[in-house]
Amino acid sequence: MSTDVTRCPICGKPSDPKRRPFCSARCADVDLNRWLGGVYRVETEEPADDEGEK
């Protein structure tokens, strides 16, 4: 049996196997809100929509 405990990326508590990698539905929702709000971004070489063509 492994002693490596996966931690929730939001709060650091041990993750719940049913909600992995999160510990709760709340932390999963916090992460989703960050993605939808633009906090997390995937960097690209392409210009943003408002910087280029109209």
Token pair listed for 13: 């508590």
27 in a known ligand binding site: yes
Nearest alpha carbon to residue 14 among 22, 31, 48, 43:
22
42 in a known ligand binding site: no
44 in a known ligand binding site: no
Contact criterion met (CB below 8 Å) for 22 and 31 = yes
16 in a known ligand binding site: no
Which residues carry a binding-site annotation?
A: 8, 11, 23, 27
The annotated binding site for Zn(2+) is made up of: 8, 11, 23, 27
